[in-house]
Structure 1
Amino acid sequence: MNFAQNSSIQKPTPPDKGSFPLDHDSECSKPMMDYMKCLKDNQNQSRLCMEFSKLYLQCRMDNNLMAKEDMDNFGFENVKNAKIVQAPKYNPNEPIVAGLSRRNNNK
């Protein structure tokens, strides 16, 4: 059977926001590697790598690897304006219970 006669060639359309197909042609490998290096250099704190993240997302949109979206819709401004708090110090003798903050009340 020959299916080529019945099918029409359609231009590929970018996937919806949130869908990330593989970058088979490595079109965005440089921005991705720059972003990953930034994360490694900054103990995986993505807020310190926002510019690299923007460049990576822009590359994906420019190469139809994701739907075009206004950069303002990705929440980068919210991250910039967020209050940064320090993580609590880890005490190996203190039990970890999700959602609970326990204080040592030795009297």
Structure 2
Amino acid sequence: MTSYTLGQKYISPIKPERGVFPLDHEGECKESMLKYMLCLSRHDNKPSNCQDESKTYFQCRMDRNLMKKHEWEDLGYHHEQQQQQQK
């Protein structure tokens, strides 16, 4: 992945691996991130109470290539599907 250009080392960018979150320098997902953080603060920092907000945030990041695209089950949302099927 590296090459030398006139004696300077150049590293070509690659997509982030799972669990690696590059910074959102442009603030593309800032609104969904803030909604998620507000939800956490309202629910004593219990992420299980903010699954809709976290899913929206992950979707924003995946849509803008700020994280690798994954199936929802891979991100821990499989139990949510089971609950919906039981209703």
Partner in structure 2 of residue 7 of structure 1: none
Letter in 2 for 1:67: K
Please, what TM-score do these two structures have when normalized by structure 1? 0.61
RMSD value, Cα: 2.3
Partner in structure 2 of residue 35 of structure 1: 36
Partner in structure 2 of residue 54 of structure 1: 55
Partner in structure 1 of residue 85 of structure 2: none
Structure (1/2) with the larger strand percentage? 2
C-alpha displacement of 1:79: 6.6
The unaligned stretches of length 5 or more in structure 1 are 5-9, 82-107
Partner in structure 1 of residue 78 of structure 2: 77
Counting only pairs closer than 5 Å after superposition, residues 10-21 of structure 1 correspond to structure 2 as: 12-21=13-22
Question: Is the 1:13–1:64 contact (alpha carbons within 8 Å) kept by the matching residues of 2?
Answer: no
Identity within the alignment, %:
41
Partner in structure 1 of residue 66 of structure 2: 65
Letter in 1 for 2:64: N
The unaligned stretches of length 5 or more in structure 2 are 7-11, 83-87
Structure (1/2) with the larger helix percentage? 2
Moved over 2 A (4+): 77-81
Distance 1:60 1:77 in 2: 19
Provide the aligned length of Structure 1 versus Structure 2: 76
Please, what TM-score do these two structures have when normalized by structure 2? 0.73
C-alpha displacement of 1:78: 3.3
Greater Rg by CA? 1
